[in-house]
Amino acid sequence: MKKQFIGAIVGFAVLSTVACSTQSPKNASADASVPAYELLDLPKVNLKSFRKNAVGAYVIFDGTSLEGWRGYNKDHIPSKWAIDNGTLKFSKKPAGVQNAEGGDLIFAHDFKNFELEFEWKISEVGNSGVFFLAKEVKDQAIYVSSPEYQLLDNERHPDAKQGVDGNRKSGSLYDMIPAKPQNAFPAGEWNRAKIVVNKGKVTHYQNDEKVVEYTLWTPEWTQLLDASKFSKEKWPLAYELLNNVGGKSKSGVIGFQDHGDDIWLRNVTVKVL
């Protein structure tokens, strides 16, 4: 504020089974201060090809396959993302890969009401994030349309001291609501995260404790945006898209951020509500 040859093959195989990508026409806001933008309608995957675990959640990363994953606004998996000893890893400098490609990674399915669970650990001075209900917007970053659950080395990364009241620390709704209690484990240790989205109500959990709660598409949500870096004055496009998170369908993709720092993820599941 996210290995290579095998991953690329898997990504190609997944994309070859779905419809060809199309582009939506440019969108214009009623507010003249908002620049025109274009939503991309890129291929999505069918959840029916993924197994469910004992509690009925789809296992979207089990440590062995990158099926269903691709780069944000891309048709392949960037080479800085790879399976590493059963984890999904973003590597700042992947070994043996020349001119490695970065970029955020998404699971290419539109989710609406769901529980996303995963484990994560980050490198020292590391920064990353998790996005949800995101739209793919041409020539824009994923966070222009998506809330962010922050992943951070709270002890060393400067973001921990920025923002307001710790709202850029791990588990927080980035730059809007601080995670309380702040119970993240140090860099290099595994943390557990859960994000629940149900009819606009969003709850962040960190290491099995509820740390943040808010409701999208409400006056209170707009007030949060007004007080953040995504305000209308500072960033009109983000303000427009985040005020309408998920668009007309109120759904979108899940993504992990390339912030240039090593991060590991595992046991990624989504339970559809």
Q: Between the CA atoms of 94, 74, 245 and 120, what dihedral angle is there, to the nearest 10 degrees?
A: -20
Task: Specify the CATH number of the domain 5-24+37-91+100-272.
Answer: 2.60.120.560
3-state SS string for the chain: CCCCHHHHHHHHHHHCCCCCCEEEEEECCCCCCCCCEEEEECCCCCHHHCCECCCCCEEEECCCCCCCEEECCCCCCCCCEEEECCEEEECCCCCCCCCCCCCCEEEEEEECCEEEEEEEEECCCCEEEEEEEECCECCCCHHHCCCEEEEECCCCCHHHHCCCCCCCCCCCECCCECCCCCCCCCCCCCEEEEEEEECCEEEEEECCEEEEEEECCCHHHHHHHHCCCCCCCCCHHHHHHHHCCCHHHCCEEEEECCCCCCEEEEEEEEEEC
What is the structure's pLDDT at 17?
38
Say if residues 221 and 215 touch (Cβ distance below 8 Å): yes
- Better-scored residue on pLDDT, 8 or 268: 268
Residue 151's pLDDT band (boundaries 50, 70, 90)?
very high
What is the structure's pLDDT at 31?
75
Give backbone dihedrals phi and psi of 159, rounded to 5 degrees, phi first: -60, -30
What is the structure's pLDDT at 18?
38
| Number of neighbours of residue 198 by Cβ within 10 angstroms | 12
Write the pLDDT tens digit of every residue in 179-212.
999 999 999 999 999 999 999 999 999 999 999 9
Domain boundaries, the chain: 5-24+37-91+100-272
Angle 236-243/219-226 helices, nearest 10 degrees?
Answer: 160
- Mean pLDDT calculated for residue range 257-269: 98
Cβ partners under 8 Å of residue 17, min gap 6: none
Write the pLDDT tens digit of every residue in 71-87.
999 999 999 999 999 99
Write the pLDDT tens digit of every residue in 14-72.
443 333 444 455 775 667 788 899 999 999 999 999 999 999 999 999 999 999 999 99
Whole-angstrom CA distances from 1 to 65, 162, 175 are 27, 12, 9
What is the structure's pLDDT at 28?
59
Say if residues 187 and 220 touch (Cβ distance below 8 Å): no
